[in-house]
Amino acid sequence: MSDIIDTANKSFEYWLNGQIQQATKQAEPNDIDACEDCGKPIGTARKCAVPSATRCINCQTKYEIRNKR
């Protein structure tokens, strides 16, 4: 039998995945192939996952850490 914390974590994970999918679908795709920060290719896999990406995964991670609230 699952305890209440496990159930809450599973529910939150399900909700969060839905939010991520919804946000990704709402973003407008773009034709940007090079990262706006470092100039390196963004990468096909990243553009498929996030069509609106303007940064490579490394620069996006750094950007999110810098702008964390």
Question: Is pLDDT above 70 for 25?
Answer: no
**Average pLDDT over every residue of 40-64:** 94
Question: Is pLDDT above 80 for 20?
Answer: no
Question: Is pLDDT above 90 for 68?
Answer: no
Tokens coding 63? 């950007």
Token match 């290719």: residue? Answer: 41
**Three-state SS at 2:** coil
Query: Domain of 57?
Result: 4-66
Question: Is pLDDT above 60 for 1?
Answer: no
Question: Is pLDDT above 70 for 26?
Answer: no
Taking a C-beta distance cutoff of 8 angstroms, is the pair 57, 46 a contact? yes
Confidence of residue 69 (pLDDT cuts 50, 70, 90): low
Question: Domain tally for the chain?
Answer: 1
